[in-house]
Amino acid sequence: MSTLEIAPELMTNGGVIDVYHGVPVADPFRWLEEHQSPRTRAWIEEQAKTSRSYLDSLPGREMLAPRVAALLNQEAIGEILKFGDTIFYTKRRPGEEQAKLYRRAGITGEDELLLDPATLGKENSLSLTIVDVSPNGKLLAFGLREGGQGARRVRILDLDTRETLSDELPKGAVRGFNFLPESNGFFYVSELVEKPHDPRTAKRHFFGQPIAQDKTVFYGGRVANLRLVAGFDANSCTAVHTVIRAVGGKNLTSIHLQLLCKCGNPLLTLVEDSPDSWDMRIHGDQLYVFHGENPEMGRTLVRVPLSAPDLAQATTVLVEGEKRFQSWRIFGDRILTTAVENISSVLRMYALDGQPLGTIDLPAPGTASILGGDRDGCFFSFESYAHPREVYYYQFSTGDRILLSSPASRVEGLATRRVEYAAQDGTLIPLTLLGLPEVLARGNAPALLTAYGAAGVCLTPQHSFLATHFVELGGIFAIAHIRGGGEHGPAWEEAGKRHNRPTVHKDFIAAAEYLISSGMADRKRIAIAGGSNSGLLVGTAMTQRPDLFCAVMCLAPIIDMLRYHRFNNTQFYVPQFGSVEDPEDFPILLSYSPYHNVHDGVRYPALLMISGDSDTRCDPMHARKFVARLQAATSTVPEPNPILLDWNPLRGHFATLPLATRVAAIVDRLAFLCHHLKMEVA
């Protein structure tokens, strides 16, 4: 985008011209990066008012709301933790706005309410997370998140008195928390929201002393491009400190072991400035280490004695291979892994020496996540396109699978079809189609297309309330398993990474073209939707092929690819996307950055941009600047499509808003899609 393409009044009204490697690039809405400036706040208020008026006027809203509410208003268990024979968990019952904290004696015991977040103020905006239980079983650490914020406070609940202690970690990103062996304090790492440039340190707190007086036990550094993640094993009194630095387009990892209960707290460095990925667990007297980034053989799980942790002498336990592990945990004498096969989850068990012990049967092809467990069994969640998320307990000794919550209502009558389409270079890309049987058979239907395509994320079958009702209304929901994701292993991810990033966009656009050429979708009724990295994907697609789509729904995206790495912790995304500081990355980023590829006078699809003040992962400045640029570019287009900003101050990157707010948001989005796809909502 040259400066000549930007209207002069935009450049004299707060615009900036940057020069990258000798190339001038206009940024007409730089002023919208200032979150709290009066000008920005006034602009947001006006946008929100306009969007609210438009969304409220859409026909059929009153007919969408009852079904959306029925879909969402089901019992749901969130987090879960087992301590001895007691289970702690969060659960939201039908009719409740947020999940509450419970415990029960044994797997099938009765619910005992411990804490309702509504009693802590903030109306219904507070949500709970379980952090840790003390070794003596008398204290529980819980997190409090307001709205969709990533940051949370950590408080301590006395399980006997039901009172919260005065000891509290202020709002921040808690990258490590464990109670001390004597249950008289805790070990933690916290990055404060209000002090982003504070040094990254691990500290030890004793109950009753001010947090400000906590002693630092490990100093990670003070630079902004550094992240410290720590864990503490109370049995061995050993801390594992992982320091990740974003340097020169790489994320370099160093790992240190520290014996906190010995005089002098001796420190041992295991890994220093490695570009590979590393993940460690202490189990008994062994240290298990999962590492490596070999696209052909995959990563390796090894173990070494904690008393002599020499990685050069490590014993190999498991080799990942092509089927990438999504997660791994150790419970008692078993290692559990989740992997992806045929774009669905597989839960496998291994002995501690790596010998296979079989799989855990799942209700159907879908998505499984390990939640926790102990030597007797494990908790896992399961969901699929037609099956809302449920939580199960799997007993190792018997192989029994026990459902812990009331059965979720399966969505009847939905059909799925897996096909393949050819990308521009001929590579075959899997495409999942979800619809009513008669709609999939007939074709020529309105379609909503999504994908992810980054960081090895695999879109296994997950339940979506919006997609469910969209399909019930006669639409086709399409999921393109494009490169950059993890559907076909590490090599599939590498094919869409950094300099290969344009491949991801081509794969996505080819999916839309296939829907048309196959007769599956009506060529005039295709919408695209995505959030976070997927928000970048749909933003790129709408600017590259505005003729192909009639509506776009974009949630919490990154959009300005020349400045994304300057906000929050996104410098750690550079290995995935690149940076303008690199002269080889710059032309690629400029070629697809959605904000910089909006052109005046083009008729762009209708856009519903969804963002809010509480997003600390994908800075909300991206949403603001993109909306402003599109509105300016389409101001001279006859009867332009609406460019809307749906703004909620509490909206962030986490789906933890109250039930009523979530229902209203999905109704807004469905009404927007149905209107622009010309779908009947009766």
Name the superfamily (CATH) of residues 414-676.
Alpha/Beta hydrolase fold, catalytic domain (3.40.50.1820)
> Is a pLDDT exceeding 70 seen at residue 293?
no
Residues 6+ apart with CB under 8 A from 553: 527, 528, 529, 530, 538, 607, 608, 610, 669, 672, 673
Give me the mean pLDDT over the 450-474 stretch. Answer: 96
> Is a pLDDT exceeding 60 seen at residue 199?
yes
Q: Higher-confidence residue: 116 or 297?
A: 116
Beta strands (DSSP E) in 440-567 are: 445-451, 476-480, 521-531, 551-555
What ranges do the domains of the chain cover? 84-221, 322-406, 414-676
Candidates 496, 491, 652, 464; CA nearest to 568 is: 652
Pairing of strands 164-179, 152-158: antiparallel
Pairing of strands 606-611, 643-647: parallel
Report the 10 Å Cβ neighbour count for 491.
Answer: 11
pLDDT for 263 equals: 67
Give the Å distances, CA to CA, from 394 to 360, 373, 376, 623.
8, 9, 9, 43
Q: Give the whole-angstrom CA distance, residue 411 versus residue 517.
A: 29
Contact 383, 463 (CB under 8 A): yes
Candidates 191, 144, 151, 132; CA nearest to 168 is: 144
pLDDT for 675 equals: 98
> Is a pLDDT exceeding 90 seen at residue 173?
no
Q: How confident is the model at residue 518 (pLDDT cuts 50, 70, 90)?
A: very high
User: Each residue of 556-581: pLDDT tens digit?
Assistant: 999 999 999 999 888 899 999 999 99
Q: Higher-confidence residue: 497 or 657?
A: 497
DSSP 174-220: EEEEEE-TTSSEEEEEEEESS-TTS-EEEEEEETTS-GGGPEEEEEE
Q: How many CA atoms lie within 13 A of 650 on its CB side?
A: 16
- pTM of the shown model: 0.95
User: Each residue of 411-435: pLDDT tens digit?
Assistant: 889 999 999 999 999 999 999 999 9
Q: Give the whole-angstrom CA distance, residue 53 versus residue 607.
A: 15
User: Each residue of 234-256: pLDDT tens digit?
Assistant: 999 999 999 999 998 899 999 99
> Is a pLDDT exceeding 80 seen at residue 73?
yes
pLDDT for 4 equals: 47
Helix (H, G, I), strand (E, B) or coil at 514: helix
Candidates 558, 562, 563, 574; CA nearest to 616 is: 558
Name the superfamily (CATH) of residues 84-221.
Prolyl oligopeptidase, N-terminal domain (2.130.10.120)
Give me the mean pLDDT over the 140-167 stretch. Answer: 93
Let me know if the fold of 84-221 is the same as that of 414-676: no
Ramachandran category for residue 148: left, alpha or beta (phi over 0 → left; psi -120 to 50 → alpha):
alpha
Q: Give the whole-angstrom CA distance, residue 359 versus residue 401.
A: 12
DSSP 48-102: HHHHHHHHHHSTTHHHHHHHHHHHH-S-EEEEEEEETTEEEEEEE-TT-SS-EEE
User: Each residue of 347-370: pLDDT tens digit?
Assistant: 999 999 999 999 999 999 999 999
